[in-house]
Amino acid sequence: MADILIIDTDKKFAAHMAKDLSRHEMDTKYCNSIAKAIRLLHTGNYKAVMLDEDLPEGKVLDYITAIRKIQPYPEVIVLSQTGDPNAAEQAIQNGAWDYITKPPSTHRIIAIINRVKEYHTERQAKCSTVSLRREGIIGNSRTLQSCLDKVAQASTSDTNVLITGNTGTGKELFAKAIHKNSAREKNPFVVVDCAALPDTLAENLLFGHERGAYTSADSSSVGLIKQADGGTLFLDEIGELPLAMQKVFLRVLEGRSFRPVGGVKEVKSNFRLLAATNRNLQDMSVAGEFRQDLFYRLRGINIQLPSLQTISEDINDLTCHFIRRHCQRLKIDSKGFSPDLLNALMLYEWPGNIRELINTIEQAISRAETETVLYPRHLPRTIRAQIARRELEKKGPKTIRQENKIADSASYPDLKTYRSEQTAGIEKRYLKDLIEITNGDIKQSCHISGLSRARFYALIKQHGIPRIVSR
């Protein structure tokens, strides 16, 4: 298995570098495009990628992001012709291991690769010593396992952790797993929903107040930060924290102390900070919407959670788990599910991620009533309609080509005729599947297709599809 992958359009340079590294017992491969590189990275276990900054296919920062999504991700070393300091800073901020000017000396590259290998060896050793309790985290994909490795890493320290990911990816679940696997597990885990903090009461909720601090303050109150003393403070959706509160909280982070509303003495709180957001805090800091100094404080360890679509291999395990869990809650026998249902779930894009999957499974169980097996027909109509569209997009053109093989060149139609025939075939298949998916619901069919009622009826008449009754 190769250790290093060189991505460079200069074949002579790449071949020379690969040969030099191979002499030092570093197995090296090279390719000339990011598309080829991604395929190779998915089939191997590379420790490092040497990435040319000037590939013609796009932006190097996007390449760094794409490569680091492949698990277990290799470290990226950017190779530059110009040695631009601004480009170097951006590359490092986006996750590159190093940024060096071409042509690099073989000695320097070997030193960098050796440091990368040492780092990965140490990280794996640390992770292997931790018997991780998953706390409800389901799945065994390489991407998810990489996130769990970071949970293990975070649980052995008191470093601040920033958990990022789209809505519904399980950020609070991962925060709880870090807490439960840490030395603070027996102490409080306090959640602060930053999106729900009212501006007028934010300081009172976070810092508490002394008796007499305001008219109705008949007694003192302990704030959430003090409640987390000895334990973990989890700031959920920290991207929604107002700028004024960001400044105040930065001071709390620096000294782990604060002053309750109406108080004169500083109060200490020994908490471990975890934060989560579905927003890009780096972009927000550039736009002046989030304090840059607070952002850098937060991301001691960054765990980027994957969308459900990118870990589709975990959908089977997740489905089994959530069916079993919901049936237990309802105190009914657990249900099975058909292969067709699993295929349907794999096709859907899941914009709401795992949270949407849970809700979908619960709805399917409800629709199944006394049936012991779940089928695609038990899924919500909106999801079934989207799945039908995905199926058509995936197999439509290929099916058309197979169904319309041309016997010889003499019978091949002109472009206008060919286009008309293919469009008609696509329209007919789409409308028939849409009507089946919506069970003949005209209103829903028009909504999904974007057609007016008059146009919808005209098309089904044109294609000879039996007229259906409006519902």
CATH of the domain at 201: 3.40.50.300
Looking at the fold, whether 172 and 201 belong to one and the same domain comes out as yes
Looking at the fold, whether 38 and 86 belong to one and the same domain comes out as yes
319 close to 361: Cβ distance less than 8 angstroms: yes
251 close to 212: Cβ distance less than 8 angstroms: no
Residues whose CB falls within 8 Å of the CB of residue 328, separated by 6 or more in sequence, listed in order:
334
Looking at the fold, whether 121 and 146 belong to one and the same domain comes out as no
Rounded CA separation 184/17 (Å): 48
CATH, residue 39: 3.40.50.2300
Looking at the fold, whether 218 and 277 belong to one and the same domain comes out as yes
In a domain, 364, yes or no: no
Last residue in a domain, options 256, 286, 304: 304
Looking at the fold, whether 154 and 211 belong to one and the same domain comes out as yes
Last residue in a domain, options 273, 304, 335: 304
Q: What is the pTM of this model?
A: 0.66
Residue numbers of the domain that contains 120: 4-126
Q: Is 288 exposed, middle or buried (0-12, 13-18, 19+ CB in 10 A)?
A: exposed
Looking at the fold, whether 119 and 170 belong to one and the same domain comes out as no
Rounded CA separation 187/288 (Å): 36
Total number of domains in the chain: 2
DSSP state at residue 3: S
In a domain, 259, yes or no: yes
235 close to 217: Cβ distance less than 8 angstroms: no
In a domain, 390, yes or no: no
What single-letter amino acid sits at 120?
H
Report cis status (omega within 30 of 0) of the bond before 198: no
In a domain, 348, yes or no: no
In a domain, 183, yes or no: yes
Last residue in a domain, options 304, 324, 349: 304
The one-digit pLDDT tens for each residue of the chain (471 residues) are 458 889 888 888 888 888 888 888 888 888 888 888 888 887 777 888 999 888 877 778 888 878 877 766 788 999 988 888 888 888 887 778 888 888 888 888 888 888 888 877 766 665 554 568 888 899 988 788 889 989 998 999 999 999 999 999 999 999 999 999 999 999 999 999 999 888 777 888 898 877 756 666 667 788 899 999 999 999 999 999 989 889 989 999 988 998 888 777 889 999 999 999 999 998 999 999 999 999 999 988 999 999 999 888 899 999 999 999 999 999 999 999 998 899 899 999 999 999 999 999 999 999 999 999 999 999 998 898 888 887 777 655 544 445 455 445 555 667 777 777 777 778 887 888 778 777 777 887 888 888 888 888 888 888 888 755 444
Q: In this structure, what are the phi and psi dihedrals at residue 321, rounded to the nearest 5 degrees?
A: -65, -45
Rounded CA separation 70/38 (Å): 8
| Residue 296 to residues 86, 147, 153, 285, 463, Cα–Cα distance (Å) | 18, 20, 19, 10, 60
Looking at the fold, whether 98 and 18 belong to one and the same domain comes out as yes
Looking at the fold, whether 167 and 269 belong to one and the same domain comes out as yes
